Amino acid sequence: MIKRRGSGILLHISSLPSVCAIGGFGPWAYKFADFLEKAGQSYWQVLPLTPSGPGSCNSPYSSFSAFAGNGLFISAEMLVRDGLVGADDIKLDDASAAKVDYAKAIEFKNRILAKAFEKFKVKGKDCYFEEFCEKNSYWLDDFALFVSLSEHYHNKSWDHWDVKLRDRDKGAMDEVRKTFAQRIEREEFYQYTFWKQYLELKAYGNGKGIQIIGDIPIYVDYNCADVWARPGLFKLDGAKRPVCVAGVPPDYFSKTGQRWGNPVYDWGKLKESGYDWWVRRIGHMLEFYDWMRIDHFRGFVAYWEVEANEKTAINGKWAQGPGAELFNVLLKKFSSLPIIAEDLGLITADVREFIRELGLPGMKVLLFAFDESLAKNPYAPHNLERNAVMYTGTHDNNTVRGWFENETDEAMRNRLAVYLGHKPAAEWIHWDFVRMAMKSVASTAIIPMQDVLGLGGEARMNMPSTCEGNWSWRLDGKQLTDELAGKLRELTGITGRI
């Protein structure tokens, strides 16, 4: 339960300005933390920080590790500060670019990180590196080898590797650890550098009274280090391929449902292990985040399971999740669970009751409030409860202005006008929504940065079920003005959120 009243901004790390083709943990991240403090905000929400790649359309929700960090976010400026690369090495200078260029970012970061590693070896490993590797060996050893083997096999899925490596034959594993020792150590250095830079940024934000809200997808990709390292925790066949995959059933939005393709957990096997993998995963995330939003939270109660050979999700079935049993284990291990339950979509009474019993705040999205059911709509401000997080929109929605200009009809605009008490206009509609979110009884209000700025559909972060052009919007540093911070702070203060 979030007891104190507050508000924050949703801005992913990739969207920050920087000297290369993608945002990172450099000077602009600190400037954004300063902006949040000036604006009276209490939270900075980010999307998953785990590694992604072109094969998954660069989606942060599709990763090849549930534990590792995305090396693209390592700051080149901080590498210069630490004496690991020279200033001349990082002169790419596209801090004002409106879009992330993933191809350029990958090439740039691979080059400078390789240089940094060579300098790191010359300077000599510090004791903190050894401590990091030892503390994180549970996932790091397998992840670093997984990355090395993936490169060796030209990014083919691990089920297409040599059978002995697919099945983790001890002799074969010992041999490749020797063969790829240098590449493994380099990946360990990348992860250490990510961890070091991120925690330094987090400490800076925490020192200004800003808590970090992270994001955890409930499922992992099939082609990831976690499934390869612990196949027994997932429903796989003798050839280590998925028997069933995750998705959601047909609904108003899709007659065939959604077949996500992620392998589903074998909750029986996880129970036998004392849910050790989930305990370690949550513990790891608690070191990174002050609060965690868990995506598709309803999957812990019941999840839609589709046979792997099915092309759509129509013929799936509901299967039982671990429910309270898992969370009882987690609560015995950790003193508290600062979790925000993503409870959007098809949520049944048992799922609502489960979230309520755990005392977790759910999500409310203001963009969903103004259909014909407005009077009783659970997302409308007048129907909210205190233990909730109110969003104007999420990374999967259009911006408020984009929604107003392209996704509303006359009837919806009329309802909105009656609710607001004035006729809304495209150039100010974002402030109408920010005010509604801030004035709501919900303990927490989170506003995507695009809505603070009043940007249109061109600034949308993601269009679900599409690949091209997503996850690429970037903030222009010139937009972080004192005037904007002051306006936001005034509204935050008058609504009791400072």
DSSP E strands in 42-120: the ranges are 43-45
The single residue of 142, 342, 432, 451 carrying the catalytic annotation is 342
Among 488, 493, 489, 387, smallest CA distance to 441 is for 387
**C-alpha span between 132 and 209 (Å, rounded):** 27
The single residue of 101, 167, 295, 325 carrying the catalytic annotation is 295
Annotation says 396 is catalytic = yes
Residue bearing tokens 């965690």: 292
Torsion on CA atoms 347, 497, 10, 70, rounded to nearest 10:
-100
* Secondary-structure breakdown of the chain: helix, strand, coil percentages, each rounded to the nearest 5: 45, 15, 40
DSSP 332-392: HHSS---EEE---SS--HHHHHHHHHHT--EEEEGGGS-STTTTT-TTSGGG--SSEEEES
Per-residue CA distances from 67 to 16, 144, 238, 393 (Å):
23, 12, 26, 27
Q: β-pairing, 43-45 with 302-307? A: unpaired
Annotation says 342 is catalytic = yes
**C-alpha span between 129 and 349 (Å, rounded):** 48
**C-alpha span between 217 and 342 (Å, rounded):** 10
The single residue of 101, 290, 396, 405 carrying the catalytic annotation is 396
| Catalytic residue IDs | 295, 342, 396
